[in-house]
Amino acid sequence: DTGVSQDPRHKITKRGQNVTFRCDPISEHNRLYWYRQTLGQGPEFLTYFQNEAQLEKSRLLSDRFSAERPKGSFSTLEIQRTEQGDSAMYLCASSQVKNTEAFFGQGTRLTVV
Amino acid sequence: GQQVMQIPQYQHVQEGEDFTTYCNSSTTLSNIQWYKQRPGGHPVFLIQLVKSGEVKKQKRLTFQFGEAKKNSSLHITATQTTDVGTYFCAGLLRNSGGSNYKLTFGKGTLLTVNP
């Protein structure tokens, strides 16, 4: 078990470009969360999946953000037409359904220039 | 929507002093979890409290869950420099059907320790 892995670790993009991040959860975990974290703040909920079903998406999330989890394994988070305000650390976490302890990946740090 | 509030935002102590951070939820929680994030790292799970009034200890750390399951605290006795980091509480809220739940984090308390 290698834990939760995220790719890439860092991404620098120009404003207006699209970016996609990947998260590979712990293999037996059904739940997968995406959070966004900025300096000095706690992880802000974006969305979560149980298996392949996306159960909730934050109302704070604009239509430029979309997430998928095909086949209930890895997940991708896409941000279209990036803006400078999207610069943040994007964290993925996974957990089991009954044991709700969340295991976090190292995160993807996005910088929009 | 559900909100989890945490105070203080920052706490600076001398090594050997005690430290406490407090967490309050706007709604009754199914459980409360505590995480620690070291500078430059990611949140790491510390503990989970489920029962009303529950108290758990991990060496110098004491965690409490309020009777109404809306508030919690983390107390560190005799802080050490290795305790430096941001401590987050995270509330788990189930929907009425019990099948869906979401983990909502507080903003965290940054602890710095002067040796």
The string of DSSP codes covering chain B is ---EEEE-SEEEEETT--EEEEEEESS--SEEEEEEE-TTS--EEEEEE-STT-EEEETTEEEEE-TTSSEEEEEESS--GGG-EEEEEEEEEE-TTSS-EEEEE---EEEEEE-
Distance CA A107, CA A33 (A): 12
- How far is B73 from B54, CA to CA, in rounded Å? 11
pLDDT tens profile B15-64: 999 999 999 998 999 999 999 999 999 999 999 999 999 999 999 999 99
In percent, how much of chain B has pLDDT > 70? 94
Decide if B42 and A100 are in contact by the 8 Å CB cutoff.
no
- Across the interface, whether the CB atoms of B107 and A91 are under 8 A apart is answered no
Residues of A in contact with B1 (CB under 8 A): 59
pLDDT in tens, A30-57: 999 999 999 989 999 999 999 999 988 8
For residue A23, give the 3-state DSSP assignment.
Answer: strand
pLDDT in tens, chain A (113 residues): 569 999 999 999 999 999 999 999 999 899 999 999 999 899 999 999 999 999 888 887 789 999 999 988 999 999 999 999 999 999 999 999 888 899 999 999 999 99
Name the residue of chain B whose CA is nearest to A6's CA: B42
| Chain A, chain B: beta-carbon pairs less than 8 Å apart | 54
User: Which residues in chain B are closer than 8 Å to A102, comparing Cβ atoms?
Assistant: 33, 35, 43, 45, 90, 103
**Which of B3, B105, B107 is best to mutate for the A interface (most A CBs within 10 A)?**
B105
